[in-house]
Structure formats: structure tokens, C-alpha cells
Amino acid sequence: MLVLEYKVKGKRQQYQAIDEAIKTTQFIRNKAIRYWMDAPIEVKVNQIALNNYSTALRKEFMFVEQLNSMACQSATERAWSAINRFYSNCKSQKSGKKGFPRFQKDCRSAEYKTSGWKLHPTKRRITFTDKKGIGELKLLGKWDLQTYNVKDIKRIRLIRRADGYYAQFCIGVDLKDIQPQTDAEIGLDVGIESFYSDSNGYHQPNPKFLRKAESKIKHSQRRIYKKVKGSSGRRKARKLYAKKHLKVSRQRIEHAKRVARCVVKSNDLVAYEDLRVSNMVKNHCLAKSISDASWYLFRQWIEYFALKFDKIAVAVPPHYTSQKCSSCGVIVKKSLSTRTHKCSCGCDLHRDVNAAVNILNLAKQARDGQSRSNANGLVTSTLLGESVGGVGFRPAKLTNP
């Protein structure tokens, strides 16, 4: 699935109509969650039942009927996604909170499927044909939408952000860009001191986008509370504050995308740690630094480019990768403040480089074990999201590839 994003340009009335469509989407999703919560135990509520419930809402509320019918179904699909995730976490006995579905308070997007919109022959304008009154919008962007067939567009998502409104086109095409083999293999150990350290001894600098912009963000946040509540000045201050956070988010995405593309393109095998970042950010001393490094985002882009370039990406368990000696295998215990690995066998490496070598060795063992267990003697081309512990394929949800 390819996602192309354009900024949309329209009039104030059209932006208000988009906001109304987004509010309606939020209303349908929340009503679907309430319908599931209030349903008797003997009544089975599944995705089909929620889709039928959206039809009942269209008959009951006029503003729901004004939204395209398939856009209403997309809203109930969001509700079912939250419900199904809760069921899956309970079934797998996930530790901690199971993610009970909550009511949404700040929805920022509305999603249309294959109806409710019409693309201009030049593919630089789009018209929404439902009764919300959005009308024709101009598409601003450099993506080459003309090369794709209109039938390949599966969904169109309207998104409200701090700096305007955007349209995302989800195109159902195969993304393959076979790159020449380099016969190179690399292990990556992500960190806070360096963005990552590889098994070759290279340390990628950590850009620390949030830390660099933190003073300006705090200044803009203080300006919000100096304005009268409900005034236009306060709204402008909040918008400025949101724009600064949006800039940091985009910087992280572009950095992770650029670095991941270079790593995957120049190596046939990329090994990385299967980290549970959601558990690691519970450490309040390191939570901000871990979030600023965006490790999971980097992993998602590695998996994406590995699939696109037909390379191998393997996630290995992180246990003892920092403590174990990459040369002799002896456990050398060390604290986080100890940045050098020194072993009695004579191995003297940077702590993160030693971990990266261990990660690469584990990935090689996993790859060789899989090739031996394959009855046909064929090795799979990509092990996306594959863990040595047996975790299956987990496709990344990405935008702007």
C-alpha cells in the first residue's frame, strides 16, 4: 500500500465542511463503541453489526446522512479496530492494561473509500460529492499521482493539522525496487548517546530535535496562558504551539526515513533489537530522551525499506546483548554509566558496538537456522518483524514513503 499526501487548498466554508465531516466521523465511532458496550452478553457484536448500526444512525440523524455511506462505514471500522485490539490483548493475556476502547475526544480525520469523491482529469483537484458541502479542493504537492490508475485508489483520508488540511491517497500497488546485492551485513544498537551504533564501529549522531526546540516550545506554551480564555489571541497562541510540535514530529520522521533508507540500501542483512519501547518509556528519567530518539519509528522504516528493496531485516531479542562479550561469549556485567566493554579475553570495544556485534551474530544464527529448517532449501527473502522468539510478521503503518 502506497500513501501519497497532498495539502489541500480551499475556502473557509470548505474547511468548515471538512471539520463537520470529521466531527461526524467521531460521533459515529463513539456511538458504535457505546452500542458495543450496551449490547447484551448473548448478542454478538462484530464488524458487520457495527456497519448495520451505521445505517441505522443515518436514518436517525440528518447530519450523519449527509456524510457518504462508505465514510460512515470507515468510522465504524475504527471502532471495531479498537474493540478487536482489546479482544486480541485479552486473548493473548498481555500484561498490564488491555486497551479497553475509549471514546474519542479529538478526532482529526475523516476517511472516504471508493465513493463520495471524484478526481479531476488533471488529478490536481478533487471534488467530494456527498452532502457535507466540501466541494472541489485544490491539491498542492509534488507527488506524481498521474502515474496511477484511479481504480487503484482504495481510500482518501482528509486530515486536519496545525498548519492546514491534507488529503492522503491510499493506493493499492506493489512496492518493489530491487537493489543490487552488496554482500554486507550490519547489526544496529539504538541508544540515546548516539542514534545508533553499528557492528562496524560507526556511531550515528543523535539529532535530539525535541531537546533543541524545547526552549521555544515552552516559551510558546507560556504565551497561551497569558491570553484570555476563549479569545482569538489564545487560539492563535495554541496554533503556534501546535505548529512547533508538528515541526519536531516531521523532523523525526524525515530523519528516521533518510537514515533507514541508507542503512537498508547498503546492506543485505540488517539486524536490530526487538525492543518494547512502550515499556521502556515508563522510566521517567529517560522517557523524554527515548521518545525524542524515536526508536520504533526507525524500526518501522527499516522494515518498510527492507520489503521495498528485497533485503532481509531481522529483529532479535535484546537480552544480554550489552553484557555479553562479542568475542568469547562471557557475561561481563556493567552499569549504564560504563560505556566501554572490557573482557578478560582482551576484547576492548565501545559498549554499543559490542552490543551491535552480538545483535548481528544472533541474526545470523536465526537466518541459518531458518534456511536449514526449510524443506525446499529456499531462504525467504525478507523477515520483516521476525523475532527469534517466533513473533510473526508485523507490517508497519507508514505514510509518505
pLDDT digits (tens, 9 = 90+) for 308-319: 898 999 999 888
Q: How far apart are CA 306 and CA 267, in angstroms?
A: 10
- Which pLDDT does position 2 carry in this prediction? 85
pLDDT at 134 over 90: yes
**Separation of CA 348 from chain center:** 37
C-beta of residue 255 within 8 angstroms of C-beta of residue 209: yes
Q: 50-64, 126-140, 175-189, 374-388: lowest mean pLDDT where?
A: 374-388
Residue 129 has pLDDT above 50, yes or no: yes
Q: pLDDT band for position 370 (50/70/90)?
A: low
Dihedral over alpha carbons 206, 210, 212, 215 (to 10 degrees): -160
Question: Residue 231 and residue 369: Cα distance in Å, rounded?
Answer: 65
Strand boundaries in 294-384, DSSP class E: 312-316, 340-342, 348-350
Alpha helices (runs of H) in 266-319, residue ranges in sequence order: 277-280, 287-293, 295-309
Any idea which residue has 518494547 for its cell? 276
Distance CA 387, CA 311 (A): 16
Q: What is the DSSP letter of 260?
A: H
For residue range 165-194, what is the model confidence (pLDDT) as tens digits? 999 999 988 777 888 888 899 999 999 989
Positions of CATH 3.30.420 in the chain: 185-212+244-387
Share of residues in the chain with pLDDT > 70 (%) = 92
The CA-atom distances, in angstroms, between 379 and each of 311, 366, 373 are 12, 12, 10
| pTM exceeds 0.85 | no
Could you identify the residue written with the cell 552488496?
A: 182
For residue 193, the tally of other CB atoms under 10 A from its CB is: 13
C-alpha–C-alpha distance, residues 245 and 131, integer Å = 34
Amino acid occupying residue 225:
Y
371 pLDDT higher than 70: no
Q: Given a cut of 80, is residue 214 above it in pLDDT?
A: yes
Q: Confirm if 384 and 307 have CB atoms less than 8 A apart.
A: yes
Distance in angstroms (rounded) separating the CA atoms of residues 25 and 40: 25
Q: Which of 26-35, 224-233, 317-326 has the highest mean pLDDT?
A: 26-35
Task: Note the maximum CA span of the chain.
Answer: 77
Q: Are 292 and 245 in contact (CB under 8 A)?
A: no
Decide: 302 and 313 in contact? Cβ < 8 Å.
yes
pLDDT surpasses 80 at 393: no
| Residue 214 host element (H or E) | helix 209-225
Give the C-alpha separation, 53 to 354, whole Å: 56
Residue 356: which residues within 8 A CB-CB, separation 6 or more?
Answer: 186, 187, 188, 189, 196, 197, 198, 199
pLDDT digits 0-9 by tens, 236-267: 999 999 999 999 999 999 999 999 999 999 99
Q: For the purposes of burial, counting CB atoms within 10 Å of the CB of 87, is it exposed (0-12), middle (13-18) or buried (19 or more)?
A: exposed
Does the domain at 185-212+244-387 match CATH 3.40.50? Answer given as no
Secondary structure class of 175 (helix, strand, coil): coil
Report the alpha-carbon distance of residue 363 to residue 359 in Å, rounded. Answer: 6
Span 359-374, average pLDDT: 70
Give the containing element (helix H, strand E) for 28. helix 12-38
Q: What sign has the CA pseudo-torsion 7, 10, 14, 16? A: positive
pLDDT at 341 over 50: yes
- Provide the pairing of β-strand 194-198 with 203-205: antiparallel
Phi, psi of 46, rounded to the nearest 5 degrees: -125, -170
